[in-house]
A and B are shown apart, each in its own frame.
Chain A
Amino acid sequence: MSYPVLRIKGATVLRGSRTVVEDIDLDVMRGELLCLTGSNGSGKSTILETLAGLHAPRAGEVLVPLPDQESIPIRDSRGRRTPVPGLSIALQTDGACLDETVLERIKTASNVAGKSLSDETIYAAMEQWALAHRANDRLAVLSQGLRKRVSILAAILPAIESSNPRIILLDEPSESLDSASRDLLHESLFSLREKGHSVVIATHDDAIIEISDRIVEISTGTISVIGPNQSSNDPPSKHATPTGGAISALARWILALEARNPVDTVQRIVPALLALFLLRTIGLDAISDGAPSSLAFYVLIPALIAILLRPALIDRLKERRSGDWWRAHLGRSIRPLSSIVGSPWMLPIPLTYLSFIVFSNSSSDIDPSAYAWLWLPALSMLDIGAAATAIHMLVSGFERSTAVAASLMMAILIWPFLLLVDATTEILYQGMNFDIGFDTPLGLIICSSLIAASVWGAAVIIPDE
């Protein structure tokens, strides 16, 4: 006797304008190997990804059944969304940014699954899959077949090492694999099934189809299930899979990739420095003419330019659908989290001080203690940076995201910036004071941060996918 671990109920799913499946029902049972088969374009990947919560059905829902007719809604047409508990997934593309190393990829997948595996365990598994010699190589230098092995191992290793039942979704795992790896895959599938894990595979591989418990044939928008009817118990009470591991894994992933290839930092610093040096060459008259806000404006502008630019994180998440892999595990929390970790939090303070050094001798009225407090408005620029990153991520949801003008949505950030210019003007010419009011630096900085935080909140709260 088994029980359903995942259920599609009355779901109609579109890809683009095409209805892929219409009004289908499907249960994934505990401990079964379920195959999705069909011709190319029939909808195997779509159903698999719908099970993972990656596609919002036009009608119907995906849920995790619980005792007493309760359920956890994974995805439905009304916008409810929860990551599938105990999920591991290997997408048809790598689902990984190609700057990740093999070892990192597997470790990240394990941490996301809530399994903190030792290096020895991971190396032993990599040896078995003939990947150990490539442990510290980036995925970008590997062949398609090797990357496929990494993707599969990342999905199945947490389950192999886990005693709690998990759900593993594999999309065309045999593609690009050599015969030895295919044999290893088949052995692993047996082992996973024996341990009580549920495996759903979208595949053309006859060897996998043969060993499946049930086969789902997909054709012209409908499904037919071949295999014994599974009598079903009530599922046991839900046990929570911690997502804290997934959240910290995403943060580490973002930081590690930027440290390895600091594209984001460089593409922000360059225009900021260009602006700084151009202003130094051309714009000093305004400061020496005594316009009080000019110096503060020039001091803050390079940091503003740096924080408003499109983050490289968006391209990393689009590469090989790594963003979809993260979305399958994190659901909606990907945007708030990545907009904070992925924003340029290291740049505003150094850029502000650099600008101050470049411009400060243009004005003789500067308060001597000003330099000690410039970090405060610069720190508040982090909020503007997070809001800008969140806006970029909101508009990157388009299929052709390079064809939209995200800057049109940035205008709201002018006011927090203007308040910071006012605050900086006060600090530069009157010195710092810690009173809180609309005329004080601290009050202005707080107001600026609150406005930027509200914009950030609006941009992360509204789901778009």
Chain B
Amino acid sequence: MLRVPAQAIALLALGSIGVVATVFLGITWAPDVNPSQWRAPAAYRIIFLHVPFAWTSFLAFAMLFWGSLRWYLRRTERSWRLVQSGSDLGLLFGIGVITSGPIWGMAEWGVPWDWADLRLNTFGLLTALALFIVMARRSQPDHDSTRDTIAAVGLFGFILVPITAVATTLYQKRHPGVVIIESEDSGLDPTIRAVMMVGFVSITLLFIGFTIISDKLYSAEAEIELNHRALDEINGGE
């Protein structure tokens, strides 16, 4: 019987309640911003989930990177599960960041994307990497050689992060313009900060709960695959 740890369920429940609370507090309790200084004052409330998503996607990408490195060096099943869960969650939270960020950008600055914004572009790149890895995992046979190539692509993707940092910095020297994400954390109102903390904690709890469950499920699926292969041999071989 596959048992999902009760702690994971509890974390998901708490996190979900926290997300609802964040949205509610963000809309009803967080103060309005000055309409004369902001083009789309209501849209700023996107940050209450956008920023926690960004933080959590960073955790997921770190898990993906660590798993890729560990698989590359050690080839353990546990490290492969880190790659699996890290890429799934990196894609989930990364897509959230690179959709909500441009939505806010369109509302506030009329510009959905800024090639000079280091964080936005780094998240974009890492989300593309996560999408590539998720798609590759689903389309390729699950062999050591596939996992080796995926781990290599994962490591390549992460070497691109500092290259992106240099590239966007260089580009920003020529095109300073408006940078979409950076404005949100300068001089934050304490109420706004409080709501954002609720968001942080909620999304992090969700992330931890998802990670535990994802790891369990991948472990169980690997065991089922082994059993299927054993059945293949009993029923007539390859």
Contact = CB atoms under 8 A, between A and B. Distances in A.
Touching chains A and B, CB distance < 8 Å: yes
Interface of A: 14, 16-18, 56, 58, 77, 79, 391, 394-395, 397-400, 403-405, 408-409, 411-412, 414-416, 418-419, 422, 438-439, 444, 447, 451, 454-455, 458-459, 462-465
Given A404-B136, A409-B157, A458-B156, A397 B149 contact: yes
Contact of B143 (A79, A399, A408): A399
Contacts of B75: 58, 77
Given A394-B152, A412-B125, A416-B167, A58 B144 contact: yes
17 contacts: A16-B141, A17-B141, A398-B140, A398-B149, A403-B139, A404-B135, A408-B128, A409-B156, A411-B124, A412-B164, A418-B171, A438-B170, A438-B174, A439-B174, A451-B167, A458-B156, A458-B159
A418 B166 CA distance: 14
Given A17-B142, A405-B132, A462-B159, 16 more contacts: A17-B229, A397-B152, A399-B141, A403-B139, A403-B140, A405-B131, A405-B135, A409-B128, A412-B167, A415-B115, A415-B170, A419-B170, A419-B171, A422-B174, A458-B163, A465-B145
A394 B133 CA distance: 13
A451 B167 CA distance: 7
A447 B170 contact: yes
Interface of B: 72, 75, 115, 124-125, 128-129, 131-132, 135-136, 139-146, 148-149, 151-153, 155-157, 159-160, 163-164, 166-168, 170-171, 173-174, 229, 238
A233 B115 CA distance: 65
A87 B117 CA distance: 51
A108 to B, nearest CB: 27
B160 A455 contact: yes
B175 to A, nearest CB: 8
B114 to A, nearest CB: 12
B214 to A, nearest CB: 22
A458 to B, nearest CB: 4
A18 B173 CA distance: 54
Contact of A409 (B132, B170, B171, B173): B132
A133 to B, nearest CB: 41
A254 B186 CA distance: 55
B148 A465 contact: yes
A462 B155 contact: yes
Nearest to B136: A404
A383 to B, nearest CB: 13
Contacts of A465: 145, 148-149
Contacts of A418: 115, 171
Given A415-B115, A464-B148, A14 B143 contact: yes
Contact of B125 (A79, A411, A416): A411
A149 B170 CA distance: 57
A404 B148 contact: no
B163 A454 contact: yes
A462 B125 CA distance: 18
Nearest to B174: A422
Contacts of A405: 131-132, 135
Q: Which 3 A-B pairs have the closest CB atoms?
A: A415-B167, A464-B152, A403-B139
A17 B174 contact: no
Contacts of A398: 136, 140, 146, 149
Nearest to B139: A403
Nearest to B143: A16
